[in-house]
């Protein structure tokens, strides 16, 4: 189980400081949700953890090991994006196999991992389709399935439901909750600006505001004892 620790992490783009002295200690196997308004730095924080952006200052530790200079592919992290990020010219199977082939797994191992993930996400029937022949919900399930095949120690989700319609959002949210139960050893970090998602999925919630951590706590703690007006407004405000 992989713990994730951020120590005084700062991120600037040019002269614009987007994250300021972020300190967080996430336990292995935890489901942590980052919430906060648009533009507060949620995606940037995920991208720093994934290694898709460089950390300007501070340290990222996974399992006690400093990760700042470790290549994304060597971090043991999978990420699911709002926009699915599937390769349009490849079939579902090829999309899922691609990263595993790059990692030089045997074809038997690749088939076994894909079959297991496809079964978990109920996408076995779509293996020969191209992404454009799938609905949004099916595409996101493929993207989640592909992420699972990498057997990550840390699973990152960046607003995975925001392109789905309301009914599918509920279904997919329940699927992600089930996935967390099933992959109990995998640390999950989930970004959303939706309070319902945060309150229902999280073991702990991290509230971000303009590049700062406002509060960290269980959904109940944040609801019952918000540390600031901002948190109270965010957790308590009507949707």
What's 122's DSSP letter?
T
4 binds, among Mg ion, ligand ADP, none (CB under 5 to 8 A by kind): none
- Residue 153 Cβ, how far from ligand ADP at the closest point, in Å? 23
Distance between CA atoms of residues 18 and 13, nearest Å: 7
Instruction: Single out the residue of 39, 72, 233, 236 in contact with ligand ADP (rule: CB under 6 A).
Output: 39
Q: Which residues, including other chains, have CB under 8 Å from residue 39's CB and lie 6 or more apart?
A: none
Site string for Mg ion, 32-61 (x = CB under 5 A): -----------x------------------
153 binds, among Mg ion, ligand ADP, none (CB under 5 to 8 A by kind): none
77-80 β-sheet, strand order? 77-80, 154-158, 187-192, 31-35, 204-209, 212-217
Q: Residue written as tokens 């990550």?
A: 152
Distance between CA atoms of residues 2 and 52, nearest Å: 19
Contact between 192 and Mg ion per CB under 5 A: no
Sole window of 32-40, 69-77, 82-90, 229-237 interacting with ligand ADP (rule: CB under 6 A): 32-40
- Residue 42 Cβ, how far from Mg ion at the closest point, in Å? 5
Residues lying near ligand ADP in the complex (CB under 6 A) are found at: 13, 18, 36, 38-44
């Amino acid at each position: 189980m992989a713990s994730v620790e951020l120590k005084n992490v700062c991120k600037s783009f040019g002269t614009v400081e987007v994250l300021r002295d972020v300190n967080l200690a996430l336990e292995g196997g935890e489901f942590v949700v980052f919430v906060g308004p648009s533009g507060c730095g949620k995606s940037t924080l995920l991208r720093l953890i994934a290694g898709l952006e460089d950390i300007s200052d501070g340290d990222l530790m996974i399992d006690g090991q400093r990760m700042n200079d470790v290549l994304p592919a060597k971090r043991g992290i999978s990420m699911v994006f709002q926009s699915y990020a599937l390769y349009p010219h490849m079939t579902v199977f090829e999309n899922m196999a691609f990263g595993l082939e790059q990692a030089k797994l045997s074809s038997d191992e690749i088939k076994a991992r894909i079959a297991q993930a496809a079964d978990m996400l109920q996408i076995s029937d779509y293996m020969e389709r191209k992404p454009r022949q799938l609905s949004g919900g099916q595409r996101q399930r493929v993207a989640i399935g592909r992420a699972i095949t990498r057997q990550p120690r840390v699973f990152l989700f960046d607003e995975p439901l925001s392109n789905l319609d309301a009914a599918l959002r509920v279904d997919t949210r329940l699927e992600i909750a089930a996935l967390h139960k099933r992959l109990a050893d995998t640390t999950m970090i989930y970004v959303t600006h939706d309070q319902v998602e945060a309150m229902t999925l999280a073991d702990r919630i991290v509230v971000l505001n303009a590049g700062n951590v406002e509060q960290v706590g269980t959904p109940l703690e944040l609801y019952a004892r918000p540390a600031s007006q901002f948190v109270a407004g965010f957790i308590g405000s009507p949707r």
